[in-house]
Every structure is written in C-alpha cells, then in structure tokens.
Structure 1
C-alpha cells in the first residue's frame, strides 16, 4: 500500500486554508502569504513569492475556481459548484442590489451586500454577465423627503448627547428630554428610538413628525443608553417560548420558570406583548416597569367591575 506523501498532504491543507479565507472574504495579501510562508524565504523577492502564490492559485483554477486580486486582496470569482439562476432570479437580485444603494440603514445594507456577494460567487460566468448587463433601477425616491432628517438622527445617536425633541403627538406639539438610541425602520415608516428621561422608558418617535431636535451640553450616562427588563414565564409557556431578537434566556429557576432578559424594547410595546401572556408572565425588574404593569392590569380589571 502506498504511503501518504507528507509534502502532498501539507499542500492540500494550505489549499483548504486559502479556500477558507476566500469564502470568508478575508484573503488579504498578508494573510495569504502567511499560509505559504514555509514555501519561500522572507528574503526572496516579491516576484519569487508571487510565483509560489500563483502555483497554488493555478491549482484552484484547475478545479474551476477562479480568483482575482483586487486592491491587495484576493477575491473569489466563482464557486466550485455553480447554481443556475433564471431571468427572474437575476432581475430580483438586481432590484435588491439597486435598492440598498439608497437604503439609509447602514447595518441592513451591509448585511444585504454580503448576501448578494454570496449569491454572485455561486453564479457561472454567463449568469454573472447577464446580471451586470441588466437594467438598473432607481429607488432614490424612497425616504427622499426624510433623508436629511434620517442622517441627522443617525449622527445624533452616535454622539450620545442628551437632546430635546419637539414633535407632533396626536397632532399636538410635545417636547421631551431624552437620550437618542437608534434609528429603526418598519415596512412603512422610520423612527427615532429614544430613552425618555422623565418616564424612564424607551419610545419611538416617527421621524416625519419631528419638528426640531436640540442637542444639550450633557453626555448620556451608560445606564441611560441601555434598558434591560427581566421577566419570568411560567407553566407551559416557559417550555414553548422562543426568545425574540432583542432577548436571551437566563435559564430556569428552581420552580421551572424561564428567566428572560430583554434589552431596549420600547416599554409600551413590551407591556402590550407581556399582557397577552396573562398569569403566565411576571416582570421581575426594573421596579418602575413592574409597577406600571400592575397598574395596567388593574385598569384592565376595572373594565369588568361594573
């Protein structure tokens, strides 16, 4: 039986390490060079080092995997196995690509770009060329009237100053002193999420209803920037409950109740949701929200006393 060739095995491991970097989109020149550093001396010229790297890159090419160097980083042009995309698929991807160019939420845009990148490396050359030649769409009209306000709110959230917001509430002017936290979106509107220093609750103000924002010469404290609510769920709900995006489980207590940690969900929305769980839910902290929940329950019971 033929023995394993240590040199061949070493080369295979290096190829797999290179593939991993390429799939993670982290194949910068230095990282790739470090994988193959045992194949050349540090004193060797750049040309000699490139010869070694090309040898391994050509190995990938033999298997149909093409790599291109862009701005000192190696990019995967295609996957080992290509997926077939229909004309409708390519049109949908193109619409998605164009929509994120004007979408104001940076984190969501970044996630979608990564997703589109994953799709592109799974395309064959023909489909990729079709995608590049597809007509572009202009979505700049979305949030066009609010763009300056949205950008202002994003910057204010980064600075962490305490602010005063004048806005329309039930068609009447209202003013609150608060800490800006985030700009959030739903299917139709965009909101500035703030921590109201008076009521000590998170609220969401529709940006289109904001009349003015005044930055005060005070920095928000860390306790004002994060709002944590702890509650427990009982009985069958404790076993079947699935934590939400802004939550995590802290395990079960000695009575089998599920302890849930909720961060930064607006209190009014959280209370409305927890009310649906009736006697299977109990807020542990903070105390002010626990008392607010009790008052809400009592007011609900008053409707049935007469």
Structure 2
C-alpha cells in the first residue's frame, strides 16, 4: 500500500483560512516526502447539506489536489464495528451510562485533567448494568491499562498526554472520532498526519489505541492555528475568513493561497512552485494572526 498524507475536514460548513492553511501544509508535507495526498470527509457527525461540495471546491480553488477518490466515514461503518468487536473480544471495552454532566462533576483521578473519565462505569456489577440499561442507552468505552502515552511530533518533539477510558461508540450509535480516525488512517495507508495543534492532546489516545489494534502509528506534525486579533481560534464570526466571503470583498482564491504561503515563509505562486522551498523545520511555531487584506 502506498504511503500517504491527508486532510480530513468535517463538512459542517465552509472552510475558513485556518482550515485551508492546514490543508496546504498537509499537501506540502506529503509531497515533499514522496507521499500521496488524500482527502477524507469526516461526516459521522455535524454534516451540513452541501458543505462537502463547498469544501472540495475551495480546496481545488487554492490548488490542493488529491491522488485518489474522496473517502467518506459514513461508508466505513463495517470497519469501525470490526475494530470494536476485536477490542471487546480482548476484554478491552465496557458499557458506560454516564452523562456529560455526571463526568464533569465526578471526582477526577489524581493528575487527570478536568473532564477525563474517572472510570465510574468500569466498576459496575452485572446487576447494576442491567438496571441502567433499562433507563439509558450505553456508550462503549475503551478499558485502558495506562494513564498516559507519549508520541513523537515533527514540530513539537515528545508529547506526553493523558489516556483515560475514552468513548469508542457514543450512546446514539455514532462511532467516536478517536476510533474512526485510527481505523481510517490505517486502512488508507496514511502514515503521516498533519493537522492543527488543537488536536495534539487527543493524539496519545489515538496512538495507544492503534497499538492495541496492532496498527501502525503515523508520523505526526501538529501545525499552529490561525487566530483572530484577540488570539482566539479563527471562526466564521471573525468576518471575511472563507473564500466566498473574501471573494465578495475582492480577494481572490489565488491571493488567499499566496498569503498562506507567505505566512509560512514560502514564495507566492502555485503549490508546485512553493514545494521546492518547503522545509518542515523552517515552519513558524507561533499561531498566525489573520488580518483581512485589502483588495
């Protein structure tokens, strides 16, 4: 199987400049290392009608091309079910009936961050589970035997994060992100994951899960986000931040691509022209503050 990098958006709305910057960097990482580049639509949740087509159109508008057909998570349920079945057969899963509020209010394990699962339902007896099943559907959690796991990141070095008993399947039947992303990356031959550094804290969980499933751990690179003038993560409420909104004020997709390339120290032009100048270790390590340019 050919090794590959990828960009995996959730089709919840139009891509903004921060998303497009990450996609361009993922493409540059992949192509500079001789990998294919793939796009996967992570549409298990929060899908908005028409958003997928908009996102693919915008990727093409800034010059991002992919080397195989787009894959959608909603087409891959059998793979997720198989992975959960394997973990269950190994005694690695249990039913959880806790609400989000109950988890937030429960005492945390020592040194665990707020919101980390404290293991409440791991300790339920068979009779207690039967009682809870009668009133509330269960999610499926991974039963871990570690409290933390380390990963290597090209830009961040060694990162150690908490690994709790995280959800594999929600109580509405939807596969959880941490399971789906691990299964999908392995199935697609993706051995390089480039994404925003807001996802770094979840990476130790994913690497640990890959180990349990006997799957390879990808090479990681978590890139800085694009932020607004207040330092908050860029969002559509920050004004003209999508290609559509920017076009409406006279800023072309080519201009947006050039601004993104310049933000990481690369010359303006096509992605192919920028590629020979791309060196991961030369990337900025601080967030990029977005200021809507004048036409």
The normalised TM-score by structure 2 is 0.23
Question: When you count helix as a share of all residues, which structure comes out higher?
Answer: 1
Question: When you count strand as a share of all residues, which structure comes out higher?
Answer: 1
The normalised TM-score by structure 1 is 0.23
Rg larger in 1 or in 2?
Answer: 1
